[in-house]
A and B are shown apart, each in its own frame.
Chain A
Amino acid sequence: MTIDRQQINEMSRPALFLMRMRGILRKETLQILRDPSSIALAIVMPIVLLFIFGYGITLDARNVPVAIVSDDSGPAGRDLAARFDLSPYFTTSPATSMAEAVTLLNRKHIDGIICLKSDFSAALQSKNQAPVQMILNGIDANRARLIQGYARGIISKWGELREARGETAVTPAVTVTHRVWFNETAESRNFMVPGLITLIMTLIGILLTALVVAREWERGTMEAMLVTPLRRLDILLGKVLPYYLLGMMGMGLSVGVAVTLFHVPFRGSIAVLLLVSSIFMLACLGYGLFLSAAIRIQFVAAQISVITGFLPALFLSGLIFDLESTPVPIQIISHIFPARYFVDISHTLFMAGDIWPVLLPDVIVLAGMAILFIGLAFRNISKRLEV
């Protein structure tokens, strides 16, 4: 016994620290490996989510079913109907009467009705002016607006075509040509998949870790750890490191699948990605650990981590909905969640590249959050028992 103590006294402080770290890291790793659900979260979940987001969410529309009610048998009417038919955006089904089309619209068999009055061709011939009526199901406003845009495009193309054929003298007016930078075909997937990485890292960083310390308190193993020579810093590091690795694994896997399978462009550099995602991961881990250390009940820690971690990462991060169009109070609230900054970073990093003026402010805020949350977690992992 005395020899042991002497040996320990002779050991240098760093060596002691390393010895303690080896012990706690081994314990945490075993604990992760013992429950397959944590590994599944880091490996299976990213792949499942990538497929669902990659294929499931497209905010643009193709083959929109519409009914064409044409009371006009003239050549112009038939020609325009054919234009809609040929367009990849619409699949048309003929309806004999307006009443029939309305029933189809109400039953959601079609998304819109395109109506040509009986004097369409005649009016176009004589007055060079004829209206086309379009009725849309406005329930999905976003989709309705896209469909409106497609219909406008088809009609203006048709006007140009008629002009080229000399059927009409279209008066010159303003025309728009547009270019979409960084994402030339405006592919939703290129936008969704990078943002998704935020969600995966949030799941691992906040949800999983929120349970970790709370579980130790609930099961009483925390008290067992308190009587060991472990310091607070050792416990914190022992919790952070394994989950950090798990999170980075999930991130690496997601990026790999995104680039190879979904052909999402990656225009930034890997080094920057590693650096920035590490900072984000630390902010999430810090927050998760802080929650569980402060709450100490798994059930409540789980609920709060979902409500303040996961759901804001989905709704208040700009992952799906554009934050700049939300009311100002919501924009202010969104700034307290780390996910918002990382979504912005990942979009720029994937599609535009290492644009430091965009990345730097976000990185600074994330680093500040990481320090704050890890500091709070450190304070809350106290080595005292409540009396």
Chain B
Amino acid sequence: MKSLHRILALMIKEFAMILKDKKSRFIVIGPPLLQFFVFGYAATFDLKDVRYAVLDESRGTLSRQFVAGVEGSGHFDLVANLLSEYEIEDIITFETARLVIHIGPEFDRNLRSGIPAGVQVIADGRNPNVALIALGYLGAIVGQYNQTLVTQGIVNPGGPGVHLVERAWFNSNLQSRWFIVSALGGVISMVVVMLLTSLSVAREREFGTFDQLLVAPFTPGEILLGKSLPGMVFGLLDALLFSAGAVFWFGVPFRGTIAALVLALLCFIITMVGVGLLVSSLSMTMQQGLLGAFVFMMPAVILSGLISPTENMPHWLQMGNFINPVRYIIIALRNIFLQGADTAMIWPQIWPLLLIAGVALPSAAWLFRHRSQ
């Protein structure tokens, strides 16, 4: 009972430290929400309006039909019609267009006389990802065009012999926004939690009030609990808000159970509070706390699979990634949102999180007293 009283007193103090100041009260809810929406829109690998130029030396009906097909796909935006091959270099180099479609003079003639007609595409490789995806779109457009040629009777049926019938499960329109936004909330709430907790002990150390806390009749466990709660409350609140935003604003499907979502987020936030407090209890100043949080967050987010698949990483990095808490929440969130996982199905992601929390939290509590100047 006494212990409860003490924890309550500590909690009030911790919440007051965040809420008493108008600026810091605002930053735990306002900006994270804004970020979620802005980044939710910005974080997409789908391309639209890729600026391209055409050099059509054939100038026949078929070549025009081909260009119309490209234009009609909605992915491309014609910026220039080139007249000679010499213009290609400048238009790519100066970033006027990101793609040049070069149709040779024999395009129409070749197609009509039954010879394969080549189209040359030049892409700006400064952004290789855009280049590869745009080339992929173009490949699909060419495939369709070939089919049209067959139906129009310009070339003989028979086609390339085999054609691919493609279906993508769980995300049939292949919207990369679903992929990012379903997991983005986890990452942004992690930033909130890490900033709150990594600065909390460091701030008191810098001001010297932490020593007062240590000589007060609190056990390290009680201090730990008092320090954890604000981060947990705000983190969980933000994370749930982002999940609702993903579903109701961005239209990401929610196929799993709410219980699984809450459980996964709660375990993740507890883990992040543990990591944040560990960083904070290691730092003597707020500068060290903030930079420490970054040393953890940058690799953790980059390697988490939020933006690039973890399967492509070298083996040694994948091994190191097993202790990365962000990786687990991202898998769990995607499974819950897109694949319809329930509580039992996300267990493989839950226990590693709890394990990390089980190491980080006690270490932080131990360091409260044992980190010396």
A-side residues, CB < 8 A to B, are 35, 37-38, 40-41, 45, 48-49, 52-53, 55-63, 80, 105-106, 124, 128-146, 148-149, 151-153, 155-156, 158-159, 162, 168-184, 186-188, 190-191, 203, 207-208, 211, 215, 295, 297-300, 302-304, 306-308, 310-311, 315-316, 318, 320-327, 329-330, 333-334, 347-348, 351-352, 355, 357-358
Interface of A, helix, strand, loop or mixed by DSSP = helix
14 sampled A-B residue pairs with Cβ under 8 A: A58-B308, A59-B45, A137-B168, A148-B140, A175-B119, A182-B125, A183-B128, A183-B131, A211-B286, A211-B287, A307-B31, A315-B39, A324-B47, A324-B51
Type the 1/0 row for B24-47, where 1 means its CB is closer than 8 Å to any CB of A: 100100011001001101111111
> In the bound complex, what is the Cα–Cα distance between A139 and B332 (angstroms)?
13
| A169 to B, closest residue via Cβ | B158
Flag if A172 contacts B111 (CB, 8 Å): yes
Extra pairs beyond A177-B119, A326-B41 (9, CB < 8 Å): A48-B295, A61-B311, A128-B158, A128-B161, A130-B162, A136-B166, A171-B150, A183-B128, A300-B23
Chain B residues with Cβ below 8 Å from A148 are: 136, 140, 164, 166
A40 vs B110: C-alpha distance when bound (angstroms): 63
Contact string, B253-280, partner A, CB cutoff 8 A, digits 1/0?
A: 0000000000000000000000000000
**7 nearest interchain CB pairs?**
A183-B125, A138-B168, A138-B171, A186-B128, A141-B176, A142-B45, A172-B116
In the assembled complex, B241 has its CB within 8 A of some CB on chain A: no
Whether B47 pairs with A322 at a CB distance below 8 angstroms is: yes
Asked if B298 contacts A49 (CB within 8 A), the reply is yes
Give A196 to B231 CA distance when docked, in angstroms.
30
Say yes or no for B179: interface residue by CB 8 A criterion.
yes
Task: Report B-chain residues with C-beta under 8 Å of the C-beta of A141.
Answer: 45-46, 168, 171, 174-176, 178-179
> Given A57-B302, A58-B308, A142-B179: A180 and B131 within 8 A (CB)?
yes
Contact of B170 among A57, A137, A180, A203 (CB under 8 A): A137
Q: Given the known inter-chain contacts A129-B161, A148-B136, A181-B124, please indicate yes or no for A38 contacting B118, CB distance below 8 A.
A: no
Asked if B21 is at the interface (CB within 8 A of a chain A CB), the reply is: yes
Q: Which residues of A contact B157 (CB under 8 A)?
A: 171
CB-CB under 8 A for A190 and B128, given A132-B162, A141-B178, A175-B118: yes
The minimal Cβ–Cβ distance linking B234 to chain A, given in whole angstroms, is: 12
Cβ of B160 and Cβ of A156 under 8 Å apart?
A: yes
Partner of B42, one of A45, A168, A321: A321
Residues on A with beta carbons closer than 8 Å to the beta carbon of B84: none
Q: Is B94 an interface residue, CB under 8 A from the partner? A: yes
Contact of A171 among B159, B175, B195 (CB under 8 A): B159
Q: How many residues of chain B have a CB within 8 Å of chain A?
A: 110
How far apart are B262's CB and chain A's nearest CB, in angstroms?
Answer: 21
CB of B44 within 8 A of CB of A186, answer: no
B205 within 8 A of A: no
User: Assuming the A-B contacts A138-B171, A176-B121, are A52 and B299 also in contact, with contact meaning beta carbons closer than 8 angstroms in the complex?
Assistant: yes
Q: Is the beta-carbon distance between B308 and A56 smaller than 8 angstroms?
A: yes
Q: Is the CB of B129 within 8 A of A170?
A: no
* Cβ–Cβ < 8 Å partners of A142 in chain B: 45, 133, 176, 179
